């Protein structure tokens, strides 16, 4: 009876102490690879949007705090060759696929929209298998960056599990005098949501387990003493 009571108490306390703890801060990550439906040339390939080559301040993917990094206002250079991606000329829409390398829980996109031929509008879809995609945002309109080193714009969405992220880009170029007639991106990065830490009652269960073991041992000693007496 006492053994059952102690076990029930342990289970009950394990349930009580299964509570969420303070989450770690979100980190910023770069995709590990990217493909695009159109590229102007090798100097303007989509890989330029994930290598941090044009950023004024770099970050360590998977380590750097997302919010702390963005708070530094990192800008992107206006130099195009080897720093930005462009479609072929006269292309007004395109598809870009990013591979994050593994499945993460993401909730924000940092987009450095190219300053003269940037995205006019885009949709975001995600997938864990690169086959079945779910649209999570539509009709996003980045701001029209000036002809100067340009900052990131943050797009937020509900936390979603994703390894592959697809941009459905349209209305290129954004309204801006002197724009190249095509689509362009400077850099992209994502915010990874940390999984919440929890106390699953392991400590409580181990503590009460040790207590139960001591009580049982003591009872056996008392019982043996009575027999010898």
Residue with tokens 């801006």: 176
Per-residue pLDDT at 213 exceeds 70: no
Per-residue pLDDT tens digits for 116-164: 899 999 999 999 999 999 999 999 999 988 889 999 999 999 999 999 9
User: Which pLDDT tens digit goes with each residue over 74-106?
Assistant: 999 999 999 999 999 999 999 999 999 999 999
Residue 53 CB-density burial (10 A; 0-12 exposed, 13-18 middle, 19+ buried): middle
Q: How far is residue 28 from each of residues 18, 141, 186, measured CA to CA in Å?
A: 29, 22, 16
Domain ranges of the chain: 2-20+198-228, 27-192
- CB within 8 Å of 29: residues ≥ 6 apart: 61, 62, 100, 104, 189, 190, 192
Superfamily of structural domain 27-192: Galactose-binding domain-like (2.60.120.260)
Angle subtended at Cα 28 by Cα 58 and Cα 126, rounded to the nearest 5 degrees: 130
pLDDT at 195 over 90: no
pLDDT, residue 176, reads 78
pLDDT of residue 225: 52
**Amino acid 206: pLDDT:** 44
Whole-structure pTM value:
0.77
Q: Convert the pLDDT of each residue in 5-14 to its tens digit.
A: 444 444 444 4
Vertex 116, ends 115 and 119: CA angle to 5°? 80
Tokens of 75: 């800008």
Q: What is the DSSP string of 67-89?
A: HHHHHT--EE-S--TTT-EE--T
């Amino acid at each position: 009876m006492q053994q059952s009571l102690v076990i029930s108490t342990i289970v009950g306390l394990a349930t009580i102490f299964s509570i969420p703890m303070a989450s770690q801060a979100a980190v910023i990550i770069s995709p590990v690879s990217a493909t695009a439906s159109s590229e102007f040339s090798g100097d303007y390939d989509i890989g330029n949007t994930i290598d941090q080559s044009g950023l004024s301040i770099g970050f360590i993917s998977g380590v750097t705090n997302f919010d702390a990094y963005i708070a530094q206002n990192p800008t992107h250079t206006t130099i195009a060759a080897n720093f930005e991606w462009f479609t072929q000329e006269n292309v007004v829409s395109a598809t870009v696929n990013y591979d994050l390398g593994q499945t993460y829980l993401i909730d924000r996109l940092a987009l450095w929209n190219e300053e003269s031929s940037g995205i006019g509008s885009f949709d975001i879809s995600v997938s864990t298998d690169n086959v079945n995609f779910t649209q999570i945002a539509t009709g996003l309109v980045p701001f029209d960056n000036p002809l100067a080193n340009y900052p990131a714009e943050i797009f937020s969405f509900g936390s979603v599990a994703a390894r592959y992220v697809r941009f459905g880009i349209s209305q290129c170029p954004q309204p801006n005098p002197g724009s190249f007639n095509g689509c362009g991106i400077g850099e992209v990065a994502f915010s990874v949501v940390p999984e919440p830490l929890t106390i699953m009652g392991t400590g409580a269960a181990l503590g009460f387990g040790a207590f139960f073991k001591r009580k049982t041992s003591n009872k056996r000693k008392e019982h043996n003493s009575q027999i010898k007496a």
